[in-house]
Amino acid sequence: MSRPPAAVRHRRPSGDIVADGRVLLDRCFYGCHSSVSFRRGSDHVAPGGGLQERSLDRLPDGDDHRGGGTMIYLDHAATAHPRHPGVADAMRDALELAGNAGRGSHGGARAAGAIVASCRERISHLLGVTDPQRISLFPSSTLALSTIIADLCSGTDDDAVMWIGALEHNAVWRPAVRALGEDRVRLLPVDEGGQVDLARLEQLDPGAGIAVVLQHASNVTGLIQPIEEVGA
């Protein structure tokens, strides 16, 4: 099967944000990339009606990672900004800890292992998992997806298929196609707003499917998918 058409994979929002004649916000649906930057002291206008014209508060030089200027951050579904102060404190403590989890028996290694064990227990409680050892920790979502998809596809029947959302990231598409081939990776249709078609989902044969892979919240559109209904 072919990848989603270009019109689905890449398009601008209806109201580009402009200032001083520049397009400032550009979103690529399939590439899952978005960026925002503003010139210092400029106003912004959203012709599509999304944001209203107003003066921007100025940030200290360097806060927009471009050597100065003013920024409005609109990518919270990808990563939060600013982060809670506790996040930076925890990361700093880990960097200063002289030990690696599972790599020794000295005090620093045991302390690092205790942090990982506590993390697993808290995640288990959050997700309702009875055994914390069933929680796997990865350095990135991309690696986690590649590992999980490869495991799900291993040893499956030759006619088994995997269903993925039509706007999923390449981190889902590529490992699925690599493991199964394009003919066994099926796209779930979405409506104009990007929400998965639940009526079509109910028509799928559960006996022929390996899994349905669907992002909960899109870092491109901000859409939250009805995960409970999908999993019912």
Which CATH number covers residue 164? 3.40.640.10
pLDDT value for 32: 35
Asked if residue 146 is part of any domain, the answer here is yes
Domain C-terminal end among 56, 75, 94: 75
pLDDT value for 123: 95
Surface-to-core class of residue 75, CB atoms within 10 Å of its CB (0-12 exposed, 13-18 middle, 19+ buried): middle
Higher-pLDDT residue of 145 and 202 is 145
**CB contact burial 168-177 (16+ within 10 A = b; e otherwise):** bbebbbebbb
Count of domains observed in the chain? 3
Across all residues in the chain, what is the average pLDDT? 72
Q: Do the Cβ atoms of 196 and 164 come closer than 8 Å?
A: no
pLDDT (tens digit per residue) in 34-56:
333 333 343 433 333 333 333 34
Asked if residue 80 is part of any domain, the answer here is no
Supply 16's token pair.
């580009």
User: pTM for this one?
Assistant: 0.60
Asked if residue 213 is part of any domain, the answer here is yes
Strand blocks (E) in 33-80: 33-35, 43-44, 54-55
